[in-house]
Amino acid sequence: MENQSTSLTPTRAHVFISGKVQGVGYRFSTLETAVNINVSGWVKNLPDGKVEAVFEGSNQAVEKIINWCYRGPKSAIVNDVTIKYEQPEGLQSFEIHR
């Protein structure tokens, strides 16, 4: 059985997603997914064609949205996901940054 304290520990992941991830609804789908699984943070498009996101929440929820990032929305083609774990800042909502 999974250790309860580990799965509920606040976690922050800074993620960069590359591939065909702009112009396919990736940010809006990320927002919807994050809200559904109770993850805070933000997502934005980068000038180089990648999507950047920060996810904060329970370890379990953050891992769940990271796994989702490898697929993304239906029309996305994800080539790579780079993850860097950081100290949580206590974000309270999820937003799309421009």
Q: What total number of domains does the chain contain? A: 1
Among 3, 38, 45, 67, the active-site one is 45
Asked if the structure places residue 15 within a domain, the reply is no
Would the CA dihedral through 84, 46, 90, 57 be positive or negative? negative
Place of tokens 């250790």: 3
CA distance 45 to 23: 10
CATH of the domain at 43: 3.30.70.100
Does 12 participate in catalysis according to the annotation?
no
Asked if the structure places residue 56 within a domain, the reply is yes
Asked if the structure places residue 42 within a domain, the reply is yes
Asked if the structure places residue 80 within a domain, the reply is yes
Asked if the structure places residue 3 within a domain, the reply is no
Model confidence, pTM: 0.92
Instruction: Please give the residue range of the domain that contains residue 62.
Output: 24-86
In the predicted model, residues of the chain with pLDDT beneath 70 are: 1-6
Among 3, 12, 27, 98, the active-site one is 27
Residue 8 confidence (pLDDT): 77
Would the CA dihedral through 75, 59, 8, 60 be positive or negative? positive
Asked if the structure places residue 76 within a domain, the reply is yes
Residue 9 confidence (pLDDT): 81
